[in-house]
Structure 1
Amino acid sequence: MNESLRLRNTLMLVPLIGATGSLVNALGLWLMFMVVTSAFGLCMNALRSRLLPATHLPASVLLAATLTSCAELGAQAWSLQWHQHAGIYAGLIALQCVVLERSDFFQGPWRERWSLRGLIGALMVSLGLLRELIGYGTLGNHLPWLAGATHADWQGWLLTADGGLRLATLAPGGFILLGLLIAAWQAWHRPPPSH
């Protein structure tokens, strides 16, 4: 694994752990990630040939910050409740765009780009779903926030009357759950011992 791929994957760990306390946060941040990285890739592909090599980094920083700020303003206008719960993690999309640009991600094949976006989305949504199930004992709590509903009475499907294990919704619980999932994956795909 080369250094740029390792850095790219490490930077996605912060929103994966921090913003996946619930399904709504994970799904919303992934949708924002999809929109911003797609727009960034299209804009940089159009600008790259017109820029001097020394100006690629400042241009990509400026473009990523602009697109992420516009997406955050749009999220505030669409659903302020969701934006308040997303916290600072939406701002990290700009950093991720710059790192992806520096590792020539947007110049690669489109299938690789969409498979990485899909993998990130699958990880975020599944971790958000598990953390909400374990932590709150609900499924789809505050889901109308993503539809822009401000006074929705629907609070999701309540699975347990007394809630769940609150640790799962916090960052340490996210690390613990992710570690358990990685251990289960490695145990499942371990080759059988030869006797």
Structure 2
Amino acid sequence: MSLTNSLMLVLLLGTTVSLAGALGTMLMFVAVVGIYALGMSPLRSRLTDGSALLAGVLLAATLASCADLLAQRWFLAWHQSFGLYGGLIALQCVVLERNGFFRQPLAQRFKLCALFGGLMLVLAALRELIGQGSLGRGLSAHGSGLVLFGEGLHLATLVPGAFIVLGLLLAARQGWTRPNSISKETHRP
């Protein structure tokens, strides 16, 4: 499962520069993965392992390409936010298929996708707020969004800044879930 997580990490870090990019990527991810699951479900039992992989690659690439074209046509501002990362959704579908994600119960799949989407939106909001000083700049028609302070820390809009913010989020989660994990030491002379 580490390969799956690393591919999702690319989407997570690459598309969360702004809230608009994260929202567009999340919507595209849910649509492509959902339609892929519906399309592959009747084929799984009828195909061998090798032909199922080929059919999965073909279906995922087709769906991701169609979603990318639709995003270019009707949601150009969002498409410019996530750009080339849309193609990785097809690869993610194939990796999820090979790791048995689509054989899990629907509730568990929904929970994992909701956690991924929530993390993506929180990371995007933090990166946009810290990096640009505003929130929702690409979501509004005039492009200003909610300006909270003049200038931000530009490092947060870059990929190394995404790693730093994600690390801080993971540290905060660990501190929140383990409140008294520090063992009490006794000092003996």
Aligned to 2:187: none
| Preserved CA contact (<8 Å) 1:22 1:129 | yes
Q: Provide, for residues 130-161 of structure 1, a one-character-per-residue CA deviation record: whole Å limited to 9, x for no partner.
A: 001100111111104xxxxxxx3242011112
Unpaired runs of 5+ residues, structure 2, are 185-189
Report the alpha carbon displacement of residue 194 of structure 1 after superposing the two structures with TM: 4.2
Q: State which drifts further: 46-55 or 176-185.
A: 46-55
The amino acid across from 2:181 in the alignment is P
Q: TM-score, normalised by structure 2?
A: 0.92
Range 182-191 or range 31-40, more displaced? 182-191
**Residue equivalent to 2:61:** 65
Q: TM-score, normalised by structure 1?
A: 0.89
Deviation at 1:80, TM superposition (A): 1.5
Q: Does 1:193 align with 2:182?
A: yes
Whole-angstrom CA distance in 2 between matches of 1:32 and 1:193 = 42
Q: Find the aligned partners of 1:11 and 1:60 in 2 and give their Cα distance.
A: 17
Structure of higher CA gyration radius: 2
Which residue in the other structure is 1:165 paired with?
Answer: 153
CA distance in 1, matches of 2:159, 2:112: 23
Q: Deviations over 1:81-102 (max 9, x none)?
A: 2212212111100010000000
The equivalent residue for 2:83 is 87
Q: Which runs of 5+ in 1 are unaligned?
A: 145-151
Tell me the CA shift for residue 110 of structure 1: 0.2
Alpha-carbon shift at residue 181 of structure 1 (Å)? 1.4
CA shift for structure 1 position 50: 2.5
Tell me, yes or no, if structure 1 residue 52 matches structure 2 residue 48.
Answer: yes
Bigger RCO (CA 8 Å, 6+ sep): 1
1:147 aligned residue: none
Partner of 2:103: 107
Spell out structure 1 runs of 4+ moving beyond 3 A: 191-195
Q: Is the 8 A contact 2:21 2:81 kept in 1?
A: yes
How many pairs are equivalent? 183
Partner of 1:77: 73
- Deviation, structure 1 residue 193: 3.4
| Secondary structure at the counterpart of residue 137 of structure 2 | coil
Contact kept in structure 2, 1:45 and 1:107, CA below 8 Å: no
Preserved contact between residue 133 and residue 148 of structure 2 (Cα < 8 Å): yes
Which range moved further: 46-55 or 92-101?
Answer: 46-55
How far apart are 1:62 and its partner, in Å?
Answer: 0.5
Residue deviations 1:42-71, cap 9 Å, x none?
100021122233201111001100000000
Q: Report sequence identity in percent.
A: 56
Match of 2:37 among 41, 44, 67: 41
RMSD, aligned CA: 1.3
Letter in 2 for 1:192: S
| Alpha-carbon separation, structure 2, partners of 1:105 and 1:193 | 36
Mapped to 1, the partners of 2:148 and 2:66 lie a distance apart of 37
In structure 2, give the amino acid aligned to 1:108.
Answer: Q
Amino acid at match of 1:84: Q
